[in-house]
Structure 1
Amino acid sequence: MPAFPHSTTATATAIAVPPSLSLPVIEAAFPRQSHPYRPRLREKTRTWLLEKRLMPADKVAEYADGLCYTDLMAGYYLGAPDDVLQAIADYSAWFFAWDDRHDRDVVHRRPAAWGRLRARLHEALDSPLGHLRHGDPLVAGFADSVLRLYAFLPRTWNERFARHFHSVIEAYDREFLNRTHGIVPRAEEYLALRRLTFAHWIWTDLLELSAGRELPDAVRKHPAYRRAALLSQEFAAWYNDLCSLPKEIAGDEVHNLGISLITHEGLTLEEAVAEVRRRVESCVPDFLVAEREASHFADALADGTVRGKELSAAVSACLGNMRNWFSSVYWFHHESGRYRIDSWDDRSTPPYVSNETAGEK
């Protein structure tokens, strides 16, 4: 199957998807597309990672392109202006770097370092301008990316984004405590926490940047729109759990749906994999139903006024990109070096991270 069967920016490349992770419905019904800015995006984000010192130069040179972080965003936020997509892609690359720091703080039992970082991120989120020169590159990089995201839509959108990301930071803190204390959450508790650690509502908020319009509360909270948004994110989070299970078992993780099912419901590894896969697959028909309902809702917004026409177009653009998330997430997991655990020298230590206590100098 070509990786980019409909892309105008990449040469088609055959990707081998393991049978246990293959989802023929995604390959057939969710054709992959990519933003035409994709090649430049990769180059500029690599430069940004170096300038902000978010990864060591040797790690950037060897691994940044192969991690495919920018490809993930280029396959999601179609229609975004180039500068908007660049800001989103840099923020996404920062998010992965933050996730890696969090993981290393857990692995090396650094609660004080994590506590300081947690407090600084909360502060930088509320006052990014004052943290652009912070001594910890992760804090300074966050401030830079947030400030750029804040430039595109009104203050009300910025405040909502901040509220949502404050919750993400606190969810990462709960994950830190669970992992350092060996606590495996039960499935329902885990799924609720996962919606925060995966940042469901952050990626959904950013759809509005891509569409160039803040959506009113009545639109964002409409049941059909909200359900379509949630299902696209649940698919991504649960498919990530399915693909990450070997890596996370090797890394002594506790935050994975499969690990929760094994621990609390007595499933074997094979049974847990089958159950996670079942949940992943169920998102697809459920999304298609929600997508149709949300599309009818979008059409109804076009009430003959200019505002109605523009709002309808923005909602339709957001829905189209929710659909793109399925294919972008799917192929990302089979292209990115982040999941090629069998090629690592140490299955518990990703080769693209530094084990130094960053930010503690």
Structure 2
Amino acid sequence: MQAFPHSTTESPTAVAVPPSLALPVIESRFPRRLHPYWPRLQEKTRHWLLEKRLMPAEKVREYADDLRYTDLMAGYYTDASEDVLQAIADYSAWFFVWDDRHDRDIVHGRVGDWRRLRHRLHAALDAPRHHLHHPDPLVAGFADSVLRLYGFLSRTWNQRFARHFHAVVEAYDREFRNRTRGYIPGVEEYLALRRLTFAHWIWTDLLEPGAGCELPESVRKHPAYRRAALLSQEFAAWYNDLCSLPKEIAGDEVHNLGISLITHEGLTLEEAVDTLRRRVEDCVEEFLDAEREALEFADALADGTFRGKELSSAVRICVGNMRNWFSSVYWFHHESGRYMVDSWDDRSTPPYVTNEAAGEK
């Protein structure tokens, strides 16, 4: 089917979703939206990747647009201002490049390189301005994107974002150690780790600059808001696991909910796929209930005061963007060259990455 039947873009995309991965509820009940800034967003993020030397020029020319990183963000934070969306999209592109570096460091046993990068990211998160010209492009690019994100809301929001991303870096370190040891975490251990490596709370934090309003803790931690936010992120992580399971089994991966189910629950591959799919489908249905409760919560915030009206409007925008995440993630997995492993010359090496160690030794 056509992914953008009513799109404002110049080139709507028609994709065929494999029956085993098709979710009719997404296609019918989660219409896909796209920020009108998207064509310019794609162009500017491509230039940013080149400017920051995050990918070699030939890789950017050949692969950047087909990876569709900007599509993912433009389909998520659809109410963000253009400068906020640009900062989020550049940060997201950086995140994918970082994920690839992490994977290559594991594959090639570059323990020292990873250790240095881990410490530098922690330092850049706390003092991004001091790392803008770091010799490792990944550190400098991270500092640039974080500094821009820090400019939209208050210092309190910045500190929360930093706290959440420090935890993501440490989770990536645990994943590094698990993979180098061949350790497959149990189901509950994996689910807790996945919430960090998928950066659930980072993408949720970014809903706020996307809505142009920092939410107080009483709103962010209200059960109705938090449940809807968590379900939107769980769907994305589990659907990613469903789509990548055959590839990750073939590549001797250890981090996938299906792999944990097979190893620790004694499921067959087919049973693990069925269980994963059922979890994903249940997550969608649960979100529809949570969304209704979150919108009722938003209505209750409108207490006749200016602040109440502001918070109510912001929560409605955030919940609407949580809904966007379902369709954006779903179509991204079927359009992005990141997941078209059957078209790669070497299934173990994505064509858009470089295997050389990067950064200062």
Shorter chain as denominator, the TM-score bin is: over 0.9
**Matching residue of 1:343:** 343
Q: Using the TM superposition, name which of 5-14 and 208-217 deviates more.
A: 5-14
Give deviations 1:126-146, integer Å, cap 9, x for gaps.
000000000000000000000
How far apart, in 2, do the equivalents of 1:314 and 1:104 lie? 40
Q: Using the TM superposition, name which of 302-311 and 124-133 deviates more.
A: 302-311
How far apart, in 1, do the equivalents of 2:132 and 2:12 lie? 40
**Matching residue of 2:134:** 134
SS at match of 2:206: helix
**Matching residue of 1:144:** 144
How far apart, in 2, do the equivalents of 1:332 and 1:197 lie? 18
SS at match of 1:19: coil
SS at match of 2:203: helix
Q: Using the TM superposition, name which of 207-216 and 246-255 deviates more.
A: 246-255
Scaled by the length of structure 2, the TM-score of the pair is 0.99
**Matching residue of 2:248:** 248
How far apart, in 2, do the equivalents of 1:104 and 1:159 lie? 30
- Code of the residue aligned with 1:290 in structure 2: it is A
Q: Using the TM superposition, name which of 250-259 and 200-209 deviates more.
A: 250-259
- Code of the residue aligned with 1:296 in structure 2: it is E
The answer to whether 1:157 aligns with 2:177 is no
Give deviations 1:14-62, integer Å, cap 9, x for gaps.
2100000000000000000100000000000000000101011111111
How far apart, in 1, do the equivalents of 2:334 and 2:10 lie? 16
**Matching residue of 1:307:** 307
**Matching residue of 1:359:** 359
1:253 to partner: Cα distance: 1.0
**Matching residue of 1:43:** 43
1:148 to partner: Cα distance: 0.2
**Matching residue of 1:90:** 90
Q: Using the TM superposition, name which of 250-259 and 210-219 deviates more.
A: 250-259
- Code of the residue aligned with 1:225 in structure 2: it is Y
* Residue ranges of structure 1 left out of the alignment (5+ in a row): none
Task: Indicate conservation of the 8 Å contact 2:135/2:360, yes or no.
Answer: no
* Residue ranges of structure 2 left out of the alignment (5+ in a row): none
Task: Indicate conservation of the 8 Å contact 2:53/2:137, yes or no.
Answer: yes
Give deviations 1:193-240, integer Å, cap 9, x for gaps.
000000000000000010001000000000010000000000000000
Change (3 A) 1:157 1:256: same
Task: Indicate conservation of the 8 Å contact 2:30/2:324, yes or no.
Answer: yes
- Code of the residue aligned with 1:44 in structure 2: it is K
**Matching residue of 1:297:** 297
1:360 to partner: Cα distance: 3.9
Give deviations 1:82-140, integer Å, cap 9, x for gaps.
01000000000000000000000000011111000000000000000000000000000
**Matching residue of 1:320:** 320
**Matching residue of 2:26:** 26
**Matching residue of 1:219:** 219
How far apart, in 1, do the equivalents of 2:127 and 2:247 lie? 36
Task: Report the RMSD for the aligned CA atoms in angstroms.
Answer: 0.8
Change (3 A) 1:66 1:28: same
Task: Indicate conservation of the 8 Å contact 1:6/1:31, yes or no.
Answer: no
Matches within 5 A, 1:176-325: 176-325=176-325
How far apart, in 2, do the equivalents of 1:256 and 1:348 lie? 17
Q: Using the TM superposition, name which of 138-147 and 249-258 deviates more.
A: 249-258
- Code of the residue aligned with 2:306 in structure 1: it is V
How far apart, in 2, do the equivalents of 1:63 and 1:249 lie? 25
Paired residue total: 361
Task: Indicate conservation of the 8 Å contact 1:250/1:347, yes or no.
Answer: no
How far apart, in 2, do the equivalents of 1:317 and 1:192 lie? 27
- Code of the residue aligned with 1:267 in structure 2: it is L
How far apart, in 2, do the equivalents of 1:288 and 1:161 lie? 27
Task: Indicate conservation of the 8 Å contact 1:4/1:10, yes or no.
Answer: no
1:263 to partner: Cα distance: 1.2
- Code of the residue aligned with 2:108 in structure 1: it is H
How far apart, in 1, do the equivalents of 2:10 and 2:295 lie? 30
SS at match of 2:54: coil
How far apart, in 2, do the equivalents of 1:131 and 1:292 lie? 43
How far apart, in 2, do the equivalents of 1:130 and 1:94 lie? 18
SS at match of 2:245: helix
Task: Indicate conservation of the 8 Å contact 1:5/1:31, yes or no.
Answer: no
- Code of the residue aligned with 2:291 in structure 1: it is E
Runs of 4+ with >3 A deviation? none
How far apart, in 2, do the equivalents of 1:12 and 1:86 lie? 21
